[in-house]
Amino acid sequence: MGMNARQPEGLEPLLSQESFEKLKGIMYVRNFEKGSCLFWEGDAANHLYYIMQGRVRTTKSADNGRTLTLYLHQQGDLIGQMDPFLESVHNFSAEVTEDVQVGVIQRKDLEVLLWQNSDLAIEFMKWMGLMHRLTQTKFRDLIMFGKTGALCSLLIRLGNSYGKETDGGILIDMKINNTELADMIGATRESVNRMLSELKREKVIQNHNGYMVIQDLAYLREVCHCENCPKEVCRM
């Protein structure tokens, strides 16, 4: 898991400039305010959303009322489902956490564009493969190495996505509370409190003016059995 913060992410780096311009040509722009939703779990999956600015998180609801945060999306990310089922519905919700501007793509328009442009179709398949691998690694973290391993992996991902190098370590330039961290690894807030306290005692992390700072990246990598995934995969 590389710690290269502020690297280009999302869809655009995977497409040629020509392909990206073709994709932009079928988008129409919409703005959503913080607190709103692009779509809800169970809505028809007829559109994809390209984030031009702002932030969105995708979540999955459980029968017990808990919510698991799957991804934190930002500028450059493409959100939505592209599967072969005609009556497909979203299996997660997309909540706006920071006023967002998106390019909305109708699924039927995208299908025609991919059919007409083989280069774009191949590049788009690469994006789908990347998202599949990203999902696999996240579930690996949650299932194989316990809650502590999942938390350590989460901190690395947050550092890759929002980190800034400072004299004291890698500052995660995003305020996030323990309840939100718990929702990202399927744990309770109390267990996250205990794990973070232990990491602070070991001088692995610290708080600085409400922001988290990673002091010992090697420790986090050891606990979560880091596989040195590419930065495109080790992200939120």
Residue 121 in domain? no
Shared-domain flag, residues 99 and 152: no
40 and 106 fall within a common domain: yes
Same domain, 111 and 152: no
Residue 74 lies in a domain: yes
Classify residue 232: in a domain, yes or no.
no
pLDDT of residue 7: 45
Residue the block writes with tokens 């919510």: 67
Same domain, 155 and 204: yes
Indicate whether 81 and 150 sit together in one domain. Answer: no
Domain count, the chain: 2
State the Cα–Cα distance between residues 89 and 226, nearest whole angstrom.
34
Residues 152 and 108 in one domain: no
Does some domain include residue 140? Answer: no
Residue 131 lies in a domain: no
Q: The domain that contains 108 carries what CATH number?
A: 2.60.120.10
User: Which two tokens mark 122?
Assistant: 């191949």
Domain membership of residue 202 (yes or no) is yes
90 and 151 fall within a common domain:
no
Whether residues 93 and 162 share a domain: the answer is no
My answer on whether 62 and 106 are in the same domain is yes
Structural domain for 68, as ranges: 17-116
Q: Does residue 107 share a domain with residue 155?
A: no
150 shares a domain with 80: no
* Cβ 38 vs Cβ 92: under 8 Å: no
Residue 129 lies in a domain: no
In-domain check, residue 8: no
Q: What does pTM read for this prediction?
A: 0.86
CATH code assigned at 150? 1.10.10.10
pLDDT by residue for the chain (236 residues), tens only, comes to 444 434 446 788 889 999 999 999 999 999 999 999 999 999 999 999 999 999 999 999 877 778 889 899 999 999 998 776 667 899 899 999 999 999 999 999 999 999 999 999 999 998 888 888 888 888 888 888 889 999 999 999 999 999 999 988 999 999 999 999 999 998 999 999 999 999 999 999 999 888 999 999 999 999 998 888 887 888 88
